Amino acid sequence: MVLFDCIVVMLCSGGYLVVLMKAELEKRLKYWQDNAASAIQMIDQDPVEDEHKIKLLISELRSELSDEYDRIVSPKEQKSMGTFELSIYATCVEDAWTRSKLRRLRLESPISKDWVEAMEAVLYHLGKFSD
C-alpha cells in the first residue's frame, strides 16, 4: 500500500505522536544540502568574509545531523520507521554523518580545504537518492 511508503511515525521525547510525510523527510535532506552548499560558497569566497557565520552554519549542520543519526540508529526507532525513512532517508543521514569528515572537523581551528571536502561529502551523501 502506497500510504505506508509516505508516512513515518515518530515518537517524540514528550510522548507525542508525530506523523512525518515522505515530503517532510525529503525537505529535511534538502535543507541540510542547502546549508552545506551555502557553507561551501562562503568558504570559496576570497577572502573568506565571515568566518564566524561559516562556523556557526557548519556547527548547526553538524549538531542536527548528529542528533538525527543518533535517532535513526536506535533499534527502537528503526522498528517504527516506514520504508522510505528506513531505506533511503536513514541511509543518507547515516552516510553523511559517518562517511564525511563533518564530525571530525575542529570548529575552533582555522577554515581549511578539509572543511570544503567535508561539506562536499555531506552534499554527496544527502543527495544520493534525490530525483
90-114 pLDDT, tens digit per residue, is 999 999 999 999 999 999 999 999 9
Give the mean pLDDT of the chain.
85
d(CA 127, CA 101): 16
Q: Residue 76 domain-assigned?
A: yes
Q: Residue 131 domain-assigned?
A: no
Is 89 a residue whose pLDDT tops 50? yes
Q: Residue 86 domain-assigned?
A: yes
Q: Residue 59 domain-assigned?
A: yes
d(CA 47, CA 120): 20
Q: What is the tally of structural domains in the chain?
A: 1
pLDDT in tens, 32-63: 999 999 999 999 987 777 899 999 999 999 99
Q: Residue 42 domain-assigned?
A: yes
Question: What is the CB neighbour count within 10 angstroms for residue 70?
Answer: 11
Q: Which residue has the higher pLDDT, 18 or 71?
A: 71
Q: Residue 67 domain-assigned?
A: yes
Mean pLDDT of 68-87: 92
Q: Residue 81 domain-assigned?
A: yes
Domain enclosing residue 73, as ranges: 2-126
Please, are residues 21 and 7 in contact by the beta-carbon 8 Å criterion? yes
Which H helix or E strand runs over 19? strand 17-21
Residue matched to cell numbers 546549508: 35
What was the pLDDT predicted at 4?
Answer: 40
What was the pLDDT predicted at 20?
Answer: 61
Q: Residue 44 domain-assigned?
A: yes
Angle (CA) 58-60-64 rounded to 5° is 115
pTM: 0.81
Q: What is the distance between the terminal CA atoms of the chain, rounded to a whole angstrom?
A: 22
